[in-house]
Chains A and B, each alone.
Chain A
Amino acid sequence: MHASAREDAPRAVVSLRGIRRRFGRVTAVDGIDLDIREGEFFALLGPSGCGKTTLLRIIAGLERPDAGRIFIDGADMTTTAPNHRPVNMVFQSYALFPHMTVAENVAYGLRLEGLARAVIAERVREALALVRLEGLEDRRPDALSGGQRQRVALARALVKRPRVLLLDEPLSALDARLREEMRLELSALQMRLGLTFVLVTHDQDEALSMADRIAVMRNGRIEQLDEPEGLYERPRNRFVAEFIGKINFFDSILEEVDEEGLRVVLPGVGPLSLPVRCLVTERKAADLALGDALTLAIRPEKIRISRAGDHADADSDLFGGQDKADVRLTGRIAEWAYYGGISHMIVEATLPQSGEVRRISVVFQNAAKETVEAFDIGDAVVLSWPASAMIVLTS
């Protein structure tokens, strides 16, 4: 991550510079530079314990960084108390005040602004309408469902009209169906209000489906910051590649590199030529030396699976007629998980030169009913993919 914002980028609402926070021996946040742009839906994504919540709390002012500075709207707010920051938070536990009604909860932050009663009432009504909670004004939190509580927490923060809305795993306590629904609703809300959202989540689907940009965190650091598509298609390292979606790795050795592309040896398979765009790491082609160990990776849905026998010669039309199936492996279906729309298979493939057996993850689009039913565990299949569908990671 580079600290300076691009010229054409919208200006940053929140800027973090060298943020660091330790708890005893644990370094929760380990030197983070980050610019969150005006009006974007930003996600902090990472495994549990990687420091996402701590970073969010530092932005909210609920936690003080040991080092680094926080700028909100250009003003240094590193030491500003949470009640003086123009940001509001939706807590993971919702943290609704149990002794107040829904309306009182939502009004809490407004009362503190010393607004007229009528104004407060109007804005509370608006906020509750926004999250579709009309009619529940006089309920207490303990008489609400999980989804409704979540909406109250959202309304309570939104009603303050914050510059940035911080959401800490807002959907994690909801059941799968409601979670799906709230995802769409949150996205729609963010777009409608044009507000800057910072979402913390450990759920890659949540981040990919909602966020404009995602920072993938590990051990208190940002591993990669990119748009969802960039993270998925051009992960910068093995951690990001594995964390976002499923992926198959192959260790390989660099044989030749020039401006056109690279030539590598895939042990057990043979030599492969890849266009230079497959190289997605920070290291440029020029930095690479012959004999370097590289990791090649292919996403499961980019692998074509077909029955052994009826595959033979269909290469040309498989990948839009542009790419050849440079890699071709035979194997057997070892596991099969059926998800309705897609099937996820593990194929035990034999590498042609070495005879080594590799388990390869394949996603199969259940486009036609017949083809789904045609496959079974133990079936002999052919896996094939063009070299250009692979990505090259440096170790």
Chain B
Amino acid sequence: MESWRRHPLVFWAMGLPGIFWLIVFFLVPLGFVWLMSFGEKRGIVDIAITGTLENYLRAFDPVYLGILFKTVRISLIVTLLCIVIGYPVAYVIAFSPPKVRTWLLLAIMLPFWINMLIRTYALIAVFRTRGYVNFTLEWLYGLLRLDALFGPFQPLPMLYNEFAVIFGIVYVFLPFAVLPMYAAIERLDRSLLEAAADLGASRFHTFLTITLPLTRSGIASAVLLVFIPALGSFLIPELLGGPNAYMIGNVIAAQFKKANDWPFGAALSFLLMYATFAILAVRPLLVRRAAKGEGAR
């Protein structure tokens, strides 16, 4: 652990390329963007750094606040869904026999091997008016002769709305929720569950008082791993959401492209980043509560 103290040269030689990379390609550009957020647009490409706070103030315009609020709402719903769907999945994987477990984990990670753009387009094929879901529904509708009762089949509007965006983000981020929760459940000492049963607890009670409190740190990790990227997502709402389902990421992207207002985009970006930091600061609290646990109360 402490060996780098004894071999500082090796330490620096190993660390330097990474540090260099971080500074040149991350921190420096970030600094530029940060400066830009205090600037004014002077023509199509000219930006003057004037130290104005105008860009930040503009962010509090009700239009943007509304989008920000919607972004947080969608991200919260997505996170909740990922936890609620992901926990049972993680639980089943963690409790399956080792051989099956390997395959299930592989299945969870399989989507990582396919580009997100392609997966998102695949979702469009599933959800659009003449997509697989509506096609199947129409077939069932005809099969059950519901058209006699309710008139001809109306395709469900499943694309270009909030539903599609939420579904899309959940679909993409679910593995990020499953993996940390799986790790936490897998680490859980099985003899604790047996001890609870031995002391008279039903399976459900054991779950509530032992499993859940002791895997809370995994849930906390999953929440952060889903919520933070969800806040910044723009590709999925861009492809699956209509103008009504725009998230803050789309607004920021638009400033750098269509609207060509880099200073404002920079300010919005930093606001989002500060918000993320604030959430990260909450994490130790979450984890500490998990460690202390309240299951016994």
| Chain A contact residues, CB within 8 Å of chain B | 60-62, 81-84, 88-89, 91, 93, 95-101, 104, 107-109, 112-113, 156-157, 160
B272 interfacial contact with A, CB 8 Å: no
User: A109 and B293: CB pair below 8 A?
Assistant: no
A99's partner among B196, B205, B293 (CB-CB below 8 A) is B293
- Greatest chain A CB density within 10 A among B194, B195, B201, B214 is at B195
User: A83 and B198: CB pair below 8 A?
Assistant: yes
> In the complex the two chains form, what is the Cα distance from A81 to B198 in whole Å?
9
Q: Which of B182-203 contact A (CB under 8 A)?
A: 189, 191-192, 194-202
> In the complex the two chains form, what is the Cα distance from A374 to B89 in whole Å?
74
A98 contact set on B, CB distance < 8 A: 192, 214, 293
User: B200 and A112: CB pair below 8 A?
Assistant: yes
B296's partner among A61, A91, A97, A109 (CB-CB below 8 A) is A97
> In the complex the two chains form, what is the Cα distance from A198 to B186 in whole Å?
31
Q: A95-B189, A99-B292, A99-B295 are in contact. Are A83 and B195 (CB under 8 A)?
A: no
CB distance from B35 to the nearest CB of A (A): 47
- Greatest chain B CB density within 10 A among A98, A99, A101, A160 is at A99
User: A89 and B214: CB pair below 8 A?
Assistant: no
> In the complex the two chains form, what is the Cα distance from A156 to B198 in whole Å?
11
CB distance from B78 to the nearest CB of A (A): 29
CB distance from B247 to the nearest CB of A (A): 37
- Interface of A, secondary structure class, is loop
CB closest residue in chain A, given B202: A83
B210 interfacial contact with A, CB 8 Å: yes
> In the complex the two chains form, what is the Cα distance from A93 to B189 in whole Å?
10
B192 contact set on A, CB distance < 8 A: 95, 97-98
Q: A83-B200, A83-B201, A108-B296 are in contact. Are A95 and B195 (CB under 8 A)?
A: yes
CB closest residue in chain B, given A93: B191
User: B199 and A100: CB pair below 8 A?
Assistant: no
User: A99 and B291: CB pair below 8 A?
Assistant: yes
* B-side interface residues, number (CB < 8 Å): 22
Q: What are 7 contact pairs spanning A and B, CB under 8 A?
A: A60-B198, A81-B197, A83-B198, A93-B191, A97-B296, A98-B192, A108-B196
B201 contact set on A, CB distance < 8 A: 83, 108, 112
> In the complex the two chains form, what is the Cα distance from A82 to B199 in whole Å?
8
- Greatest chain B CB density within 10 A among A89, A93, A97, A100 is at A97
> In the complex the two chains form, what is the Cα distance from A108 to B205 in whole Å?
11
CB distance from A63 to the nearest CB of B (A): 10
CB distance from B178 to the nearest CB of A (A): 23
B205 contact set on A, CB distance < 8 A: 112
| Chain B contact residues, CB within 8 Å of chain A | 189, 191-192, 194-202, 205, 209-210, 213-214, 291-293, 295-296
Q: A104-B296, A112-B205 are in contact. Are A99 and B198 (CB under 8 A)?
A: no
User: A101 and B296: CB pair below 8 A?
Assistant: yes
User: B291 and A95: CB pair below 8 A?
Assistant: no
User: A82 and B296: CB pair below 8 A?
Assistant: no
B195 contact set on A, CB distance < 8 A: 89, 91, 95-97, 156
User: A62 and B194: CB pair below 8 A?
Assistant: yes
CB distance from B136 to the nearest CB of A (A): 42
A81 contact set on B, CB distance < 8 A: 197
- Interface of B, secondary structure class, is helix
User: B293 and A100: CB pair below 8 A?
Assistant: yes
A112 contact set on B, CB distance < 8 A: 199-201, 205
User: A99 and B200: CB pair below 8 A?
Assistant: no
A156 contact set on B, CB distance < 8 A: 195, 199
User: B194 and A160: CB pair below 8 A?
Assistant: no
> In the complex the two chains form, what is the Cα distance from A206 to B271 in whole Å?
67
B296 contact set on A, CB distance < 8 A: 97, 99-101, 104, 107-108
User: A82 and B191: CB pair below 8 A?
Assistant: no
Q: A99-B213, A108-B296, A112-B205 are in contact. Are A160 and B200 (CB under 8 A)?
A: yes
> In the complex the two chains form, what is the Cα distance from A88 to B196 in whole Å?
10
User: A97 and B198: CB pair below 8 A?
Assistant: no
CB closest residue in chain A, given B291: A99
> In the complex the two chains form, what is the Cα distance from A381 to B202 in whole Å?
67
User: A108 and B199: CB pair below 8 A?
Assistant: yes
Q: A91-B191, A93-B189, A95-B192 are in contact. Are A82 and B292 (CB under 8 A)?
A: no
> In the complex the two chains form, what is the Cα distance from A160 to B197 in whole Å?
13
CB distance from A107 to the nearest CB of B (A): 8
> In the complex the two chains form, what is the Cα distance from A101 to B194 in whole Å?
19
CB closest residue in chain A, given B213: A99
B191 contact set on A, CB distance < 8 A: 91, 93, 95
CB closest residue in chain A, given B295: A99
- Greatest chain B CB density within 10 A among A100, A109, A113 is at A100
> In the complex the two chains form, what is the Cα distance from A109 to B202 in whole Å?
11
> In the complex the two chains form, what is the Cα distance from A99 to B184 in whole Å?
15
B198's partner among A62, A100, A101, A113 (CB-CB below 8 A) is A62
CB closest residue in chain A, given B197: A82
> In the complex the two chains form, what is the Cα distance from A108 to B200 in whole Å?
9
User: A100 and B295: CB pair below 8 A?
Assistant: yes
CB closest residue in chain A, given B293: A99
User: B293 and A91: CB pair below 8 A?
Assistant: no
In addition to A97-B192, A98-B192, A112-B200, 9 A-B residue pairs with Cβ atoms within 8 Å of each other are A62-B198, A83-B202, A88-B199, A89-B198, A95-B195, A97-B196, A108-B199, A156-B195, A160-B199
> In the complex the two chains form, what is the Cα distance from A61 to B195 in whole Å?
11
> In the complex the two chains form, what is the Cα distance from A323 to B205 in whole Å?
67
> In the complex the two chains form, what is the Cα distance from A188 to B85 in whole Å?
52
- Greatest chain A CB density within 10 A among B198, B201, B291 is at B198
> In the complex the two chains form, what is the Cα distance from A98 to B296 in whole Å?
10
A107 contact set on B, CB distance < 8 A: 296
User: A109 and B199: CB pair below 8 A?
Assistant: yes
User: A113 and B194: CB pair below 8 A?
Assistant: no
User: A83 and B197: CB pair below 8 A?
Assistant: yes
CB closest residue in chain B, given A60: B198
User: A82 and B202: CB pair below 8 A?
Assistant: no
A62 contact set on B, CB distance < 8 A: 194, 197-198
A104 contact set on B, CB distance < 8 A: 296
> In the complex the two chains form, what is the Cα distance from A101 to B189 in whole Å?
17
A100 contact set on B, CB distance < 8 A: 293, 295-296
> In the complex the two chains form, what is the Cα distance from A83 to B295 in whole Å?
19
> In the complex the two chains form, what is the Cα distance from A84 to B198 in whole Å?
8
CB closest residue in chain B, given A153: B195
